[in-house]
Structure 1
Amino acid sequence: MSSPAEVAERRAAVRHLAKTGASNRAIADQLGIGKDTVARDMSQVDDPRAPMAQRLARAVAQADAAVAQASAAVQAVSEARPAYTLADDETARRWCGALRAAADELAAQADAFADYYPCATG
Structure 2
Amino acid sequence: MSTPAEVAERRAKVRQLAQGGASGRQIAAQIGVSKDTVRRDLALPDEPVVSRAERMAQRAAQTEEAVSQLGAAVQDVIDARPAYTLADDETARRWCGALRAAADQLAAQADAFADYYPRATG
| Cα-to-partner distance string for 1:39-85 (whole Å, 9 max, x where unaligned) | xxx99x8x7x4111100000001111111111111111011110011
Is 1:73 paired with 2:76? Answer: no
Q: Tell me which residue corresponds to 1:94.
A: 94
| Cα-to-partner distance string for 1:94-121 (whole Å, 9 max, x where unaligned) | 1001000100000000000000001111
TM-score between both structures, scaled by the size of structure 1:
0.60
TM-score between both structures, scaled by the size of structure 2:
0.60
Q: Tell me which residue corresponds to 1:115.
A: 115
List structure 1 segments (4+ residues) > 4 angstroms apart after TM superposition.
none
Please give the alpha-carbon distance, in whole angstroms, between the structure 1 residues aligned to 2:97 and 2:107.
Answer: 15
Amino acid at match of 2:78: S
Please give the alpha-carbon distance, in whole angstroms, between the structure 1 residues aligned to 2:69 and 2:102.
Answer: 13
Please give the alpha-carbon distance, in whole angstroms, between the structure 2 residues aligned to 1:80 and 1:52.
Answer: 42
Q: Tell me which residue corresponds to 1:14.
A: none
Task: State the aligned residue count.
Answer: 78
Is 1:61 paired with 2:61? Answer: yes
| Helix, strand or coil at the partner of 1:87 | coil
- Structure 1 segments unaligned to the other structure (5+ residues): 1-41
